[in-house]
Amino acid sequence: MANPSQLGFQDASSPIMEELVEFHDHALMVALAICSLVLYLLALMLMEKLSSNTVDAQEVELIWTILPAIVLILLALPSLQILYMMDELDEPDLTLKAIGHQWYWTYEYTDFKDLAFDSYMIPTTELLPGHFRLLEVDHRLVIPMESPIRIIITADDVLHSWAVPTLGVKTDAIPGRLNQTSFITTRPGIFYGQCSEICGANHSYMPIVVESTPLIHFENWSSLLSS
């Protein structure tokens, strides 16, 4: 959950999000080094008298041609690694289906029989103490902790987007098409997200709440709900 005036990312709750935060910090350090070098050279050019060696130097031209290529490689390699990690789908322990509607979500646990429900935002007038306005729902998506989860995402009417920042997940829900993504939660907790695609007048009123619990608690919850 983000804090007021927070400048950085939310605390990562999945291995993918941890990698994304590390890559973000890596890219910022590279950008800081480039900006520092450019500012130093600009100051040097303004304060020092230009000489013929500075104006016509093939060695310098060679360096500023090769150096950007090396920088791009240093950025591209970890980026490609994360992309492949996000696309990998090793035998999931649980498969879910999320269907976007105007303006609520439907969740189906495909590995269970008759385990499905709609998830609506709780109106402000019905919130309990400690609940977050515009983020709390009547039925949370409950998943087991430290288990590979595959979620299949689609929409019933218009474009939606299933996004949970702390899990590093953001996948479009497109009518007539199935998109899939996967994640693993590394700790128990309640993680909040929202539809991230403008989908109509009440776009801001279809939040996503994922509750990560130990496996034994998930089994008790699923057996109680499906019975």
DSSP letter (8 states) at residue 6:
-
**Contact predicate 119/107, CB 8 Å:** yes
Distances (CA, A) of 152 to 98, 106, 128, 177, 199: 6, 12, 31, 10, 19
Summary mean pLDDT of the chain: 88
pLDDT reading at 88 higher than 80: no
pLDDT reading at 207 higher than 80: yes
Phi, psi values for residue 80, rounded to 5°: -65, -35
Q: How confident is the model at residue 54 (pLDDT cuts 50, 70, 90)?
A: low
pTM, two decimals, is 0.83
pLDDT reading at 162 higher than 90: yes
Catalogue all structural domains in the chain, each as residue range(s) with its CATH number: 15-87 (1.10.287.90), 94-225 (2.60.40.420)
pLDDT reading at 53 higher than 80: no
